[in-house]
Structure 1
Amino acid sequence: MTDNSISAKPQYMFDRLTDITVNHLKEMGVKLVAIDLDNTSVYDCTITPIKGVKSWIKKVKEAGFKMAIVSNSFELRCKVMGKMFDCVSYGSANKPDTKMMFRAVEDAGVKIHEMALIGDRLFTDIKGANSCGAVSVYVKPYKKELIIPFYWKKARQDEVNYFKSINIDRDLKTIYYK
């Protein structure tokens, strides 16, 4: 059961994962960058990285940040992506549950507030990050989901409605800071 008192409002907001610079991450004060898979770093339900993501991960790692995948996707797929991205992975995370987020920071040897969780879902990624004290970073979904479209249409509309309720335009091209 999810605690409805936990905010799904992101601390930071970008159009794409690759729009987040090393300087942005430094300004956030993080040491561990945890990314979601579907529609954040890979095309939905695939193992194909979104254009520019592999080089972005390399640049982030070269700048000294630790990288991890924290995804609700099944574990085998996460391991495949972890191998491809050369980072640790935590699959079947069941976000907004925080268990895998705490495991990621423990394994990385950092504190929870030193981890940024970057994802495209308000009520899983962002709510999970906010509930455990991690830095929450929202990126717009890369593409419209094609699998189970009736589910995703409602889920995305719920997100749009939430953004409107907190006076944020999800389609803004500008970066939203806390």
Structure 2
Amino acid sequence: MSYLKLLKITWNNPWTLNPNVYVPRIDSIDYSKLKELGVKYLVFDKDNTLTAHLKNEFYDNKIQSCVNNEIKQLYDQNSQIFIVSNSIKSEQKQKEVQQNLGIELILTSQKKPHNFQEIINHIKQKNTNVSIKNHEIAFFGDRLFTDVLLANLNGAVSVYTDPFNNLNEHLGIWLMRKIEKQIFSKFQNSRSINLYYLNQNIKNFDQQVTKQNQQQQ
């Protein structure tokens, strides 16, 4: 689906672009608090969230350490942690991503934000005989119009991060990032970042799951 159509979808419902949590990077989150608040499944975008754009290894040692020494200590890497992609076509690349990152890859035929059903079907296949609720899934990504929108449209937890860099991204993504930056700045300025979770108004939810003492460079 084109970016123009995504803009039309969100024009009358801008809240769908408003993330539940904003952090600079995925290693800025207290995952024990996230789990305590009810998040049972983690789904990550790859490019500019775990890796540099189009790369298949962790962006740096801090991201790698967070995944291996924190996330995997709290969540089952075989059934609760996933990467979602609809752009990795070759089997060699798929194996390379899973081997280098140690996280199962969910391949979808549709692009974000329209691939939620494929994602949750995969999670259910890995967790048979378990009732999975949408709000128990957290989606991590650096794009409002794909990652955040995907989560918000389906009642999941949206975690918005800064991109590592914009190198090698095509013009369309570069232009959309400009729009996303303006939209997000308005959310921040109006202090309207969503603080709702599990249908309850939990004050300062974003602060509860953010590592306050960790300053990113």
What TM-score comes out, normalization by structure 1 length? 0.83
Change (3 A) 1:7 1:116: same
Q: Distance in 2 between matches of 1:41 and 1:168?
A: 28
**Cα offset, 1:42, TM superposition:** 0.5
Q: Distance in 2 between matches of 1:46 and 1:113?
A: 30
Note the residue ranges of structure 2 that are not aligned, 5 or more in a row. 191-203, 208-217
| Structure 1 counterpart of 2:97 | 81
For residues 22-45 of structure 1, give each alpha carbon's deviation from its aligned partner in whole angstroms, at most 9, with x where no partner exists: 224224421111111000001101
Amino acid at match of 1:17: I
| Structure 1 counterpart of 2:67 | 57
Q: Secondary structure at the match of 1:177?
A: helix
Matched, 1:94 2:108: no
Q: Distance in 2 between matches of 1:159 and 1:8?
A: 9
| Structure 2 counterpart of 1:177 | 206
Q: Which moved more, 1:152-161 or 1:25-34?
A: 25-34
Q: Distance in 2 between matches of 1:88 and 1:168?
A: 37
State how many pairs are aligned.
Answer: 172
Q: Is the 8 A contact 1:69 1:78 kept in 2?
A: no
Q: Secondary structure at the match of 1:90?
A: strand
Larger radius of gyration: 2
Q: Which moved more, 1:158-167 or 1:128-137?
A: 158-167
For residues 73-115 of structure 1, give each alpha carbon's deviation from its aligned partner in whole angstroms, at most 9, with x where no partner exists: 3244444322322222113451011233322432343322111
Q: Distance in 2 between matches of 1:156 and 1:143?
A: 11
| Structure 1 counterpart of 2:24 | 15
Runs of 4+ in structure 1 off by over 4 angstroms are none
Matched, 1:43 2:45: no
Q: Percent identity?
A: 27
Q: Which moved more, 1:73-82 or 1:37-46?
A: 73-82
For residues 1-59 of structure 1, give each alpha carbon's deviation from its aligned partner in whole angstroms, at most 9, with x where no partner exists: 64323611100010011112222422442111111100000110111211122222222
Amino acid at match of 1:44: H
